Amino acid sequence: MKTTIRFIHAADLHLDSPYVGMQNLPESIFKDVKESTLLAYNRLIELAIEKRVDFVLFVGDLFDQQSTSIKSVITLKRGLEKLKEHGIFAYISYGNHDFGMGDKVDLTFPDNTYVFQSEEIQCFPYNKNGEEVAQIHGFSYEKRAVKKKMIREFNFDRPDVYQIGTLHGSIQSNTDHDVYAPFQLEDFEKHQADYWALGHIHKREILSENPFIIYPGNIQGRHINEPGEKGCYVVDMTPHQTEVEFHSLQEIIFEQRTINDSEANNIEELTEELFRIKESWRNTSHKYIIRLHLQLPETFASTVEHPQIDELLELLNEQEDTERDWVWIQAIYWSVDWNYDRDEMKASSQFIGEVLQAIDDDEDPIRHLEILANNRVVKKHVEPFTKETLDEMKAEAEQMIVKELIKDGES
């Protein structure tokens, strides 16, 4: 008869890795942002202790290669030491972001911690009260990509104990994610595992419930596309059933919010309205980073200028660094209904028509931007413009021209 076990399933800690898409943060907020992943990790440790779990699974990407600081390593180790003090074990595998970390930093952990060392599937027994009750299977990345279908390499042959598979990877598709130990849902059916602890995808998702195949997501969102609550799963396994419960750990929540019922007729009213709305969002349990989408009344929207919005953004954020539960508006997007009959304009032989034609004909807009794109520093450290971004910019450029050139009225 199997005894019951309880463990935490977490992945993608990305300890101390920086946020993407943040700028001009005031000191205090910047500090919160910097510490958020570490804070979330500390909460995880506290949760493990509070819930008296048997062990914790860290399924890959504990760090980021590029931004591993001693601080992150020390924090990780301290947490593991703490688990050890409470007799909790830890099982770690490295993913595509933290492979080969051992070369850079000292990754000797306390003896309660087991690390999957290579791309070969390895199995650690978990003993409770001197009796083996579970086996944890897994592997670690040794290079940036693992193209092999690792799922096929697992071998669960001990039905007398709980069999848990850990896998840092993603569903096979035709996108570039395929380089991360790809699998298909059917692959799991061939195995007798009682639980599949996945990692790599930052969005929380339960792929299956029998057995549970779960992406816990990361423990702290780091950009606007990692919105909502982030955390880990506490898993209770009995011989007859498995129960999972999500626990949020994040310090800061990313969110995109849309305001489509604005009644503002001018920038002052809008400012007032946004201040009010922002206050209503303030929450004692979380800090927020919000991307705001405004749908303004048409008459007003057409008069709004970029600098005004920039100013508004600055104004909205101005006092936030004094707040404990701050709400930081990361950006404001607003739709401009700039209506003109593009086709008609283009068909005329006028200059504007020619301009529109030129824009349409431009397949390679980057050629106009080479002086910046070729800057050595920019090239190396700033992501190049994607096609979407370029299209967006083309549209905006077109608007700038059209708006200026077809201004009505007598000259």
Partner 1 sequence: MQMNKLELVSFGKWNRKTIHLHKGMNIICGPNESGKTSVRMFVTYILFGLEKELRERFISKLDGQLGGRIHLTHNREEWTVERFLHRHRGQAVLYRGGERVTEDEAKQFYQGMDSNLFASIFSFQARDLQAIREKKADEVGKVLFNLGLTGSDRIVTLENSLDKKAGELFKKSGRKPLLNVKISELKEILKKIDEVKADEEAHQSLKETLRHTEEELSTYEQEQKTLQESIRHHEKLHSLKTQILSHQRLSEDLKNESWIEGFPPDAKSKYDQYKSEELKFKEQKNMHLARIERLQSEKETLQNQSKQVEYPLSIDSIEKLVGESKQLEHSLTELDENLRKEYEQFNRYMNQAGLSYSPDEVIRIDSNDYTGEMWKDLAKEEEELTEKLADQQLKKRTYEEEVTELEGLLNSTTKKQLPRDEKIDLEQQRDALKANQSASEWKKQLEEEKKKQASELEASKQLFTKMTWGFPVVTGILLALFLVFLFEGNNSDWFIVAVVFSVGVVGGLVGFNQSKKTTTKLMQLQEDQSEALNQTDPEQLKNIELTLIEQDELSKKANQLETKLEYAKNNVKELVVEQDYLNHRMEQLEKKRDEEINRFPFLSATNISFWPSLYQTISQAKAIAESIKNLEEKKREQQAQLDENYRVAQSILALYDSNADERSIWEQVQNHLTREKDNGKTLQRIHNDLLELQQELKDLHARFEPHADEWKTLLARTNSADEATFVHNITQHQEYMNKLKKREEAYEFVYQTFSEQTDKILRTDHTWDKIEEDLRIESMRLEEIRDTINELLNRRAELTAQIKQLEEDGELSDLIHQKSMLVEEIRRRSKEWATYRLAYSYLKETKDRYQNVYFPGIMKDTSDNFSVLTGNKYVEVQFSSESETINVCDRNGEWFQVGQLSEGTADQLYIALRLALSKALHASTALPFLLDDAFVNFDQQRKQHMFSLLEKQSSEHQIIYFTCEANDSNDKVEANRIELTAQERSQNGQVELLT
Find how far residue 76's CA is from the centre of its chain: 20
Nearer to partner 1, 339 or 349 (CB): 349
Return all residues near 127 (Cβ < 8 A) that are at least 6 apart.
133
Q: How far is the CB of 343 from partner 1 (least distance, A)?
A: 11
Enumerate binding residues for partner 1 (CB under 8 A).
16-25, 30, 33-34, 66-67, 69-72, 74, 104-106, 344, 347-351, 354-355, 357-359, 362, 365, 368-369, 371-372, 375, 377-378, 381-383, 385, 389, 393-394, 396-398, 400-401, 404-411
Nearer to partner 1, 79 or 169 (CB): 79
Nearer to partner 1, 19 or 154 (CB): 19
Residue owning tokens 């008296």:
52
Q: How far is the CB of 305 from partner 1 (least distance, A)?
A: 12
Q: How far is the CB of 373 from partner 1 (least distance, A)?
A: 8
Q: How far is the CB of 371 from partner 1 (least distance, A)?
A: 4
Task: State both tokens at 25.
Answer: 């943060």
Nearer to partner 1, 148 or 368 (CB): 368
3-state class (DSSP) for residue 365: helix
Nearer to partner 1, 108 or 184 (CB): 108
Return all residues near 401 (Cβ < 8 A) that are at least 6 apart.
352, 355
Q: How far is the CB of 360 from partner 1 (least distance, A)?
A: 10
In terms of Cα–Cα distance, which of 45, 83, 55 is closest to 195? 55
- Strands of the 287-294 sheet, one edge to the other: 252-259, 287-294, 327-334
- Strands of the 122-128 sheet, one edge to the other: 122-128, 131-138, 162-168, 195-199, 212-215, 205-209
In terms of Cα–Cα distance, which of 135, 206, 141 is closest to 169? 141
Q: How far is the CB of 341 from partner 1 (least distance, A)?
A: 9
Nearer to partner 1, 33 or 316 (CB): 33
Rounded Cα distance between 112 and 320, Å, is 42
Q: How far is the CB of 252 from partner 1 (least distance, A)?
A: 13
Q: How far is the CB of 104 from partner 1 (least distance, A)?
A: 6
Nearer to partner 1, 23 or 284 (CB): 23
Partners of 233 in the beta sheet? 9, 246
Nearer to partner 1, 51 or 394 (CB): 394
